[in-house]
């Protein structure tokens, strides 16, 4: 009916606005990891050239294996997964947390949706803190040693007076 068609068109329009304006990267991949659709791409890439390429080609060697296993698992189980990974992009690597969810056609998973949230700044800040902690601990130990030396000198001085 025309009312059903109108409702479907309105629903698609609402979905498209959400999809296209999301700050997250949202894309669909097939069981081989080929990108079928993507809402937007990282600076330096072209959307039309990314569609049809392998999602895995944009990953580090370590995270590629994890993502391949994750996508296989979603296709096999029909259950969503969340995976942290590092992408290799023009201008530098980025860190993402991705939700990988099945898209069903009937009772079969036909594609998966990947919603990738860029958390590069958070990962780099955490690494920076982890790198600084040993140096800070060393400074505290050095300060403690100096404090103990001064305290010993004060005690000697007080004893002699």
d(CA 159, CA 36): 82
d(CA 160, CA 104): 86
Query: What confidence tier does 89 reach under pLDDT thresholds 50, 70, 90?
Result: confident
* pLDDT value of residue 144: 72
Residue 18's CB: how many other CB atoms inside 10 A? 11
Question: pTM, whole model, 2 decimals?
Answer: 0.74
* pLDDT value of residue 136: 66
Range of lowest pLDDT (18-27, 81-90, 97-106, 139-148) = 139-148
Query: What confidence tier does 115 reach under pLDDT thresholds 50, 70, 90?
Result: very high
């Amino acid at each position: 009916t025309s009312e059903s068609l109108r409702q479907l068109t309105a629903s698609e329009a609402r979905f498209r606005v959400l999809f296209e304006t999301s700050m997250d990267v949202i894309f669909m991949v097939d069981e081989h990891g080929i990108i079928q659709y993507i809402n937007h791409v990282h600076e330096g890439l072209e959307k039309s050239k990314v569609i049809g390429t392998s999602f895995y080609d944009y990953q580090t060697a370590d995270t590629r294996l994890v993502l391949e296993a994750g996508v296989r698992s979603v296709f096999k189980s029909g259950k969503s997964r969340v995976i942290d990974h590092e992408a290799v992009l023009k201008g530098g690597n980025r860190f993402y947390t991705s939700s990988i969810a099945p898209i069903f056609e009937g009772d079969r998973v036909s594609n998966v949706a990947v919603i990738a949230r860029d958390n590069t700044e958070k990962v780099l800040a955490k690494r920076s803190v982890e790198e600084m902690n040993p140096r800070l601990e060393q400074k505290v130990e050095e300060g403690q040693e100096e404090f103990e030396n001064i305290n010993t000198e004060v005690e000697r001085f007080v004893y002699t007076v």
